[in-house]
Amino acid sequence: MEERQDPWSSSQIKDYQKMREEFGIDSFNYVLEDNLMARRSLFVGQRDFWRIREAIERKDKFAAMTGLMPSGEMHLGSKAIIEQMIYFQKKGAQVHISVADLESYATRNIPLEKARTIAIENFLLNYIAMGLKRCNFYFQSTNARVQKFAFILAREINFTEMRSIYGFDDSKRMLEINSPIIQASDILSPQIYDEPMPTIVPVGADQDPHLRLTRDISSRMNIIKSKTNGKSITFSIGGREDPEPYFNIIRDVIKDSGFEIGKINQKYRTAEVENFEGSTYDLDLKIARKERELNHINSIAPSSVIMRLETGIRGGKMSKSVPDSTISLNEEPDQAEKKIRRAVTGGRESVEEQKRLGGNPYICPVFELYLYHLSSTDIDLKNVEEECKSGTRLCGGCKIEASDLMSHFLSDLKEKRESSRHLVGEYLENGK
């Protein structure tokens, strides 16, 4: 049977290699020394990350985009996403964050007013407390531009595709079918209402289908499409309009960039550049920006980094719908401590056995807490790992240490939330 990643289900992805092969995701092989998750191999895939790397190196304009589902608490999984948004903001990205209140209305039946309160109290305040600077923070329900563009891009997608990506059956309500469409609009809007630019979307591995959909839509809305095999580039001109103005764009940009245009095929509407070396970053951007003069809905396909999913502290997927599996950032510290004490571990049957054989940190959700959240330095993390494997660390003490660290983190965050409250207005007035 065909495998499907379901963004709304609660099962854990086990085999990332298989996921990459199946969905055409590249592995993440970039060295980002200043990114904790990259260093710890927590990025299990990427799409077109090279574009973001180049944008950062050239100090070019680029966008970072994410959305939040205001249906409940902000938990540890969302924390990891916001850490990435803060990382890219520091690297120069313009940050856009969409409150997916239309999606939470559609899929979780949350009234819009309630979603607003949740978005501010449980999410925005934590974002500010964690260090997110001012950005474009908006609500889907009040953003006319994003809604309008969702309407327009719905042209590019039919029900057969929605069914094959999401597994929707015929009884699915239109409201739910709409959610991924408005989300695609979230992701492309920074480019539609400004100009084509690289966009990074950090996602959990279960959210990759949204990116696939959005990248497909993006490529369909572009009239000039390009393909490279590392040695040559082939441009093709889609649509039914007169191709000549688009051939002109290609000719101009190629000449401008010091390359030579090769074969032009009028019938098949293609043009080639042979002997092309290096990256297509500049060409793509220049062509997209020129095309924009004729086609107001074109874009550069958004890039993503795909994060390994955390295991719930009771095993299984860490999910909002299983409150005991995760810790919310607004949770009382002593409550979180209790949850960690009850976590499953990679420990042995008995203390004696563990001292002799060591534990297994690689199947241990408590170790994952250190890995994603609690060990601020790689040396601390290495120590936990080695001590566990050698049997000098026992699960009882290990959990106490983890719960102390978590409790400190949560109390500190709580204080920062309160001292950030006066800033909320500034973030909200930005939204568009």
Nearer to ligand TRP, 187 or 253 (CB): 187
Closest distance of CB 78 from ligand SF4, Å: 24
| 44, 28 contact by CB (below 8 A) | yes
CB 37 within 8 A of CB 43: yes
Comparing CB distances to ligand SF4, the nearer of 98 and 354 is: 354
Examine residue 388 and tell whether it contacts ligand SF4 (CB under 6 A): yes
Site for ligand SF4 in 326-385 (CB under 6 A): 345-347, 359, 361, 364, 366-367
Q: What is the CA radius of gyration of the chain?
A: 23
Q: By CB under 6 A, which span of 148-156, 195-203, 394-402, 418-426 interacts with ligand SF4?
A: 394-402
Residue 302: which of 408, 176, 201 has the closest Cα?
201
Q: Using the rule CB under 6 A, is 183 a contact of ligand TRP?
A: yes
DSSP-assigned beta bridge partners for residue 394: none
Tracing tokens 């203390």 back to the chain, one arrives at: 351
Distance separating alpha carbons of residues 431 and 91, to the nearest angstrom? 21
Sequence length of the chain is 432
Give the pair of three-digit tokens for residue 312: 């719930």
Residue 417 binds: one of ligand TRP, ligand SF4, none (C-beta under 5 to 8 A by kind): none
Q: What are phi and psi of 219, to 5 degrees?
A: -70, -30
Does an H or E element contain 227, and which? strand 224-228
The option from ligand SF4, ligand TRP, none interacting with 347 (CB < 5 to 8 A, set by class) reads ligand SF4
84 vs 270 by CB, closer to ligand TRP: 84
Residue 104's Cβ-count burial label (10 Å; 0-12, 13-18, 19+) is buried
**150-169 residues near ligand TRP, rule: CB under 6 A:** none
The nearer residue to ligand SF4, 93 or 395, going by C-beta atoms, is 395
128 vs 395, which CB is nearer to ligand SF4?
395
Sorted by sequence, the CB contacts under 8 Å of residue 352 that are 6+ apart come out as: none
Provide the minimum distance between the beta carbon of 138 and ligand TRP in the complex, in angstroms, as a whole number.
11
Residue 69 sits in the site that holds ligand TRP (CB under 6 A): yes
Size of the site for ligand SF4 (CB under 6 A): 13
Strand partners for 63: 94, 199
> Token pair for residue 255?
């000449």
Closest CA to 77 of 414, 308, 330, 304: 308
Q: Could you say whether residue 102 binds ligand TRP (CB under 6 A)?
A: no
Q: Residue 83 interacts with ligand TRP (CB under 6 A)?
A: no
Cβ pair 271, 265 in contact under 8 A:
yes
Task: Return the one option of ligand SF4, ligand TRP, none that residue 300 interacts with (CB less than 5 to 8 A, by type).
Answer: none
Give the interface with ligand SF4 as residue ranges (CB under 6 A): 345-347, 359, 361, 364, 366-367, 388, 393, 395, 398-399
Binding site for ligand TRP (CB under 6 A): 65-67, 69, 98, 100, 103, 183, 186-187, 201
